[in-house]
Amino acid sequence: MRILYVISGETGFKKTDEKILRSFGLVTKIDFHNYNLKKIIKYMINGYYSDLIFIWFASKHAIPAIILKYFFKRKIIIVAGGYDVAKVLSIRYGNMCGGYKTYIGRWILSRSDIVIAVSKSNYQEVINNGLVDPCKVKLIYNAVDYDDLGDNYNKINQVLTVGEINEETYLRKGIDRFIALARSLPEIKFLHIGKWTNRKGDPCERTINRVKKYAPKNVTFLGFLKKTELIGHYKTSKYYLQLSRHEAFGVSVVEAMSYGCIPIVSNQYSLPEVIGGGGYIVKHLDHAVNILKQSNNINKKIDPDSILKFSVRKRKNSLEKVIKEQYQ
């Protein structure tokens, strides 16, 4: 099978899907971030010779694939995993907040053969916001590539959060809540790990410089780290904090849980679903403050079964089934 794999900007979960797809056949990858004419031509030629076009997110980088489908009947699978089907009016986040992006997104989704949702919450967004026929939507959880599940790590009373910092993620990822919580608990160390970017995902320190001015002294911003360094902080941090206003899945939450971090998450979208009964779901900041004030008395353990459902093997098996169904 020849597969054209289309993304716009690289991430860990997209790399995981690339590995899975390469186990099914010959894969050509097009990263449409910062595209040009040469890249568009490569996209169209490889799409013409492909049996399947697999795309992460229903955004403008999917339009050439829709054209190929119209003229040459190419099969298209789209993973709708976040911004493309989100509608969070309070922070104006998501393609489905109205305007031309909503119409384009729905048009792209309507012309795909299969739309993959990465959580139950995301599944509802695809149907309710993207107006996709439920018969075309498949729920396949995102995968976390962990080597081993363990809880024998020397934990310290430290709170970790992971994610990009830019003008959009500041509110969506709850960085403001992370800082406010740290200010209320000066005796606890807080760590942030993640790229400092602009809205396009390019390196930029404008937002992080502004954030640092307001952050208390017990917050450390480490920036982007290599995977081995990140894992080291997962292993030593007792808590993982994710007080997002929107999450379609939450890969970093599952990664942290796989290294024994106790998750503290907001009651927003997929986060309660992802952690199951393995941590704390908070409705307001005071609730999180009270949990961390009692941290010395908390000895929660993460149930490995709550993480195994997000394994690469399960995602691979599910994707393989969906792809085979398209060729029966």
Are 10 and 127 contained in the same domain?
A: yes
Residue-by-residue pLDDT tens, the chain, 328 positions:
999 999 999 999 999 999 999 999 999 999 998 889 999 999 999 999 999 999 999 999 999 999 999 999 999 999 998 999 999 999 999 999 999 999 999 999 999 999 999 999 999 999 999 999 999 999 999 999 876 666 678 899 999 999 999 999 999 999 999 999 999 999 999 999 999 999 888 999 999 999 999 999 999 999 999 999 999 999 999 999 999 999 999 999 999 999 999 999 999 999 999 998 889 999 999 999 999 998 777 777 787 778 889 999 999 999 999 998 876 6
The answer to whether residue 148 sits within a structural domain is: no
Are 98 and 178 contained in the same domain?
A: no
Are 125 and 201 contained in the same domain?
A: no
Total of domains in the chain: 2
- Domain containing 121 equals 2-143+311-325
- Which ranges constitute the DSSP H helices of 206-250? 206-214, 227-236
User: Which amino acid, residue 47?
Assistant: G
**Are residues 179 and 214 in contact, defined by beta-carbon separation less than 8 angstroms?**
yes
Which pair of structure tokens corresponds to residue 296?
């010395």
The answer to whether residue 297 sits within a structural domain is: yes
CA-closest candidate to residue 192, choices 237, 235, 154, 147: 237
Quick one: how far is CA 49 from the chain centroid?
30
The answer to whether residue 64 sits within a structural domain is: yes
The model's pTM: 0.93
Are 34 and 172 contained in the same domain?
A: no
